Amino acid sequence: MHVLLSGIVGSTAYGLAHAGSDLDRLGLFAVPTEELHGLHRPAESQVTSRPDRTMHEAAKWCRLALGCNPTATELAWLPTELYERRTPLGDELIGIRASFLSAGAVRGAYLGYAAQQVRKLRSRAERGPLDEEARRRSEKHARHVLRLLRQGTGLHRTGTLEVRLPDPAAIRAEAVRMVADPTVGETRLARAEQEFSKPGVLPEYPDERAAEAWLRRVRAAFY
């Protein structure tokens, strides 16, 4: 495995980690190019636990990022100190990260996932009081709903992904309120939908040419 870029993601990157939080790692790698020409293609992802690490092959990462998958996308926007490995090809990818973004994909990925989680929080609340474990899980999901809405609308307005949240304490407090009263999440979701209805800075389509050119440089490097 030729690791091109890897770093610490998830709650630690967002500033939402607490004493018991797992340390999540994400990265991308390139297989030797000749392995792509055989009868059986190599695995596109490798996932391990203890440590929690997800690695995507370069082409798969590009496809995820072109769809504005929030988890894949954040790898190219991490604060510098959270990268654990950066190669020249990884730096090139960071340099073209904005080319993967598009208005519809950002809206669909960030707003779509948040809306799904808000519906789940409402459904849980309607089933009755939560036990302690269920409440902790719900608050975690609520924090990530708020994070996704913040990041998605920020991307829509500015074209820049803010991975580290400036106000994690406020996010935690609002997540507690959201679990106690699901209308808090529904109100937040409605505000985000209004933000997305306004003109933004993202293009209608991503620049696939930049991703294709980068991927071809990766294949040439490991031929």
| Three-state DSSP state, 5 | strand
Residues 23 and 47 placed together within one structural domain of the fold: yes
Does 20 score more than 80 pLDDT?
no
Q: Is residue 136 located within the same domain as residue 94?
A: no
CB 72 within 8 A of CB 64: yes
- State the pLDDT at residue 128: 82
Are residues 154 and 91 part of one domain? no
Given pLDDT bands bounded at 50, 70 and 90, which one contains residue 149?
A: very high
Q: Which helix (H) or strand (E) holds 182?
A: none
pLDDT at 204 over 80: yes
Backbone φ, ψ for residue 205 (5° rounding): -130, 150
Number of domains within the chain = 2
193 and 138 within one domain = yes
> Does any domain span residue 202?
no
Q: In what order do the strands lie in the sheet with 2-9?
A: 45-48, 52-57, 24-30, 2-9, 83-86
DSSP 86-121: E-HHHHHHHHTGGGG--HHHHIIIIIHHHHHHHHHH
Q: Are residue 84 and residue 125 in the same domain, yes or no?
A: no
Task: Give this prediction's pTM.
Answer: 0.93
Range of the domain at 215: 2-100+207-221
Residues 53 and 92 in one domain: yes
Kindly report the CATH number assigned to the domain that includes residue 217. Answer: 3.30.460
Residue 73 maps to a domain? yes
- Eight-state DSSP code of residue 204: S
- Assess whether 138 and 116 both reside in one domain: yes
Paired tokens of 54: 């997800």
Same domain, 129 and 176: yes
Residue 85 belongs to some domain of the structure: yes
Q: Is the pLDDT of residue 44 over 90?
A: yes
